[in-house]
């Protein structure tokens, strides 16, 4: 039996304009609401992410983070 999707947590999140646009585009293409799209991504994080690419992109993001915060 499929488990029922219950969105029980509401979290205020801060994201860049690029991240927000990408999340909205993904939700629209997947025909999901924004909260459902985020739930899907985090519930299936390990299977939708490439570990090598993720660690590389994370290093790049952290290197730019100081400049982004200004």
Q: Which tens digit of pLDDT belongs to each residue from 30-66?
A: 999 999 999 999 999 999 999 889 999 999 989 988 8
pTM: 0.75
SS3 assignment, position 57: helix
- Split at pLDDT 50, 70, 90, the class of 21 is very high
Per-residue model confidence (pLDDT) at position 1: 52
Helices (DSSP H) in 1-50: which residue ranges? 17-30, 34-43, 45-48
pLDDT at 38: 92
Residue 10's pLDDT band, with cuts at 50, 70 and 90, is confident
pLDDT(2) > 70: no
DSSP class of 45: H
């Amino acid at each position: 039996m499929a488990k029922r999707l219950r969105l029980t947590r509401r979290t205020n999140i801060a994201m860049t304009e690029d991240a927000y646009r990408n999340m909205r585009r993904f939700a629209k293409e997947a025909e999901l609401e924004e909260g459902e799209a985020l739930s899907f991504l985090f519930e299936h994080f390990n299977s939708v992410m490439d570990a090598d690419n993720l660690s590389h992109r994370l290093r790049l993001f952290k290197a730019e983070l100081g400049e982004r915060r200004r």
